[in-house]
Chains A and B, each alone.
Chain A
Amino acid sequence: MIAEVGHYALVLALALALIQATVPVVGAYVRDAALMTVARSAALAQLLFVLVSFGALTALYVTSDFSVVNVVENSHSLKPLLYKITGVWGNHEGSMLLWVSILALFGGLVAAFGANLPLSLRAHVLAVQAWIATAFYLFILITSNPFLRTLNPPLEGRDLNPVLQDIGLAVHPPMLYLGYVGFSISFSFAVAALIEGRIDAAWARWVRPWTLMAWICLTLGIAMGSYWAYYELGWGGWWFWDPVENASLMPWLSGTALLHSAVVMEKRNALKVWTILLAILTFSLSLLGTFLVRSGVLTSVHAFATDPTRGVFILLILCVFIGGSLALYAWRASALKQGGLFAPLSREGALVLNNLFLTTACATVFIGTLYPLALEVVSGDKISVGAPFFNLTFAPLFVPLMLAMPFGPLLAWKRGDIAGASQRLMAAAIAALIAMAVLWAWTSGGASLAPLAIGLAVFVIGGALSDLVERTQLFRAPFATAMRRAQGLPRATWGTVFAHAGVGVALIGIVCETTWNTEYIGALKPGGVATVGGYALRLDGLTQQQGPNFRAQIATFSVRNGNGDEIGVMTPSKRNFTARASSTTEAALLTRGFSQLYVSLGEVTADGGQSVRIYHKPLVLLIWFGPLLMAFGGLLSLSDRRLRVGAPKPAKQARGLQPAE
Chain B
Amino acid sequence: MTRKQRRLTMIGGALCVLAIAAGLVLNALRDSIVFFSTPAMVSEKKIQPGTRFRLGGMVEQGSLKRGDNLAVSFTVSDGSATLPVTFKGILPDLFREGQGVVAEGAIDPAGVFKADTVLAKHDENYMPKEVADALKKQGRWQEGADGKPVIGVSDSAQPKPVVTQ
Whether a CB of chain A sits under 8 angstroms from the CB of B97 is no
Q: Roughly how many angstroms separate A427 CA and B68 CA in the complex, as a whole number?
A: 55
Q: Roughly how many angstroms separate A363 CA and B120 CA in the complex, as a whole number?
A: 29
Whether a CB of chain B sits under 8 angstroms from the CB of A584 is yes
Whether a CB of chain B sits under 8 angstroms from the CB of A403 is no
Q: Roughly how many angstroms separate A18 CA and B159 CA in the complex, as a whole number?
A: 31
A385, B32: Cβ atoms under 8 Å? yes
A611, B90: Cβ atoms under 8 Å? yes
B35, A364: Cβ atoms under 8 Å? no
Q: Roughly how many angstroms separate A612 CA and B29 CA in the complex, as a whole number?
A: 35
B24, A383: Cβ atoms under 8 Å? no
Q: What residues of chain A lie closer than 8 Å to B78, measured between beta carbons? A: none
Contact of A72 among B10, B34, B128, B151 (CB under 8 A): B151
A299, B128: Cβ atoms under 8 Å? yes
Interface size bracket, B side: 35 or more
B149, A158: Cβ atoms under 8 Å? yes
Whether a CB of chain B sits under 8 angstroms from the CB of A580 is yes
Whether a CB of chain A sits under 8 angstroms from the CB of B3 is yes
A242, B165: Cβ atoms under 8 Å? yes
Instruction: Encode contact with A along B63-103: 1 for CB under 8 Å, 0 otherwise.
Output: 00010011000000000000000000111011000000000
B90, A521: Cβ atoms under 8 Å? yes
Contact of A521 among B28, B70, B123, B128 (CB under 8 A): B70
B153, A69: Cβ atoms under 8 Å? yes
Q: What residues of chain A lie closer than 8 Å to B123, measured between beta carbons? A: 299
B32, A605: Cβ atoms under 8 Å? no
Whether a CB of chain B sits under 8 angstroms from the CB of A573 is no
Q: A316 to chain B: closest CB distance in Å?
A: 18
Contact of A300 among B20, B69, B162 (CB under 8 A): B162
Whether a CB of chain A sits under 8 angstroms from the CB of B17 is yes
Whether a CB of chain A sits under 8 angstroms from the CB of B163 is yes
Whether a CB of chain A sits under 8 angstroms from the CB of B142 is no
B21, A602: Cβ atoms under 8 Å? no
Q: B134 to chain A: closest CB distance in Å?
A: 8
B162, A356: Cβ atoms under 8 Å? no
Whether a CB of chain B sits under 8 angstroms from the CB of A154 is yes
B159, A304: Cβ atoms under 8 Å? yes
Q: B135 to chain A: closest CB distance in Å?
A: 13
B33, A602: Cβ atoms under 8 Å? no
B91, A602: Cβ atoms under 8 Å? yes
Q: Roughly how many angstroms separate A301 CA and B124 CA in the complex, as a whole number?
A: 10
A303, B162: Cβ atoms under 8 Å? yes
Q: Roughly how many angstroms separate A606 CA and B120 CA in the complex, as a whole number?
A: 22
Given known A69-B153, A382-B35, contact A91–B159 (CB-CB < 8 A): yes
Q: Roughly how many angstroms separate A583 CA and B30 CA in the complex, as a whole number?
A: 38
Q: B73 to chain A: closest CB distance in Å?
A: 14
B66, A92: Cβ atoms under 8 Å? no
B70, A523: Cβ atoms under 8 Å? yes
Contact residues of A: prevailing secondary structure: mixed
Whether a CB of chain B sits under 8 angstroms from the CB of A360 is yes
- Name the residue among A300, A371, A522 with the largest chain B CB count within 10 angstroms: A300
Q: Roughly how many angstroms separate A163 CA and B122 CA in the complex, as a whole number?
A: 13
Q: What residues of chain A lie closer than 8 Å to B31, measured between beta carbons? A: 388, 392
A240, B32: Cβ atoms under 8 Å? no
Q: B120 to chain A: closest CB distance in Å?
A: 8
Instruction: Encode contact with A along B141-157: 1 for CB under 8 Å, 0 otherwise.
Output: 00000000101110111
Q: Roughly how many angstroms separate A583 CA and B24 CA in the complex, as a whole number?
A: 41
Q: What residues of chain A lie closer than 8 Å to B162, measured between beta carbons? A: 299-301, 303
Instruction: Encode contact with B along A562-604: 1 for CB under 8 Å, 0 otherwise.
Output: 0000000000001000001111110000000000000000110
Q: What residues of chain A lie closer than 8 Å to B153, measured between beta carbons? A: 69, 72-73, 150, 154
Q: Roughly how many angstroms separate A359 CA and B112 CA in the complex, as a whole number?
A: 44
Contact of A74 among B130, B149, B159 (CB under 8 A): B159
Contact of A392 among B27, B134, B149 (CB under 8 A): B27
A382, B159: Cβ atoms under 8 Å? no
Q: Roughly how many angstroms separate A613 CA and B134 CA in the complex, as a whole number?
A: 32
B90, A357: Cβ atoms under 8 Å? no
Q: Roughly how many angstroms separate A441 CA and B66 CA in the complex, as a whole number?
A: 43
Chain A residue with minimal CB distance to B1?
Answer: A343
Q: Roughly how many angstroms separate A244 CA and B36 CA in the complex, as a whole number?
A: 19
Q: What residues of chain A lie closer than 8 Å to B9, measured between beta carbons? A: 344
Q: What residues of chain B lie closer than 8 Å to A603, measured between beta carbons? A: 90-91
B24, A392: Cβ atoms under 8 Å? yes
Whether a CB of chain A sits under 8 angstroms from the CB of B109 is no
Contact of A304 among B33, B89, B161 (CB under 8 A): B161
Q: Roughly how many angstroms separate A363 CA and B153 CA in the complex, as a whole number?
A: 43
Q: B44 to chain A: closest CB distance in Å?
A: 13
For this complex, 5 residue pairs linking A to B, each with C-beta atoms less than 8 Å apart, are A163-B163, A299-B121, A305-B157, A584-B93, A605-B66
Q: Which residues of B contact A (CB under 8 A)?
A: 1, 3, 6, 9-10, 13-14, 17-18, 20-21, 24-25, 27-29, 31-36, 54, 66, 69-70, 89-91, 93-94, 120-121, 123-124, 128-130, 133-134, 149, 151-153, 155-165
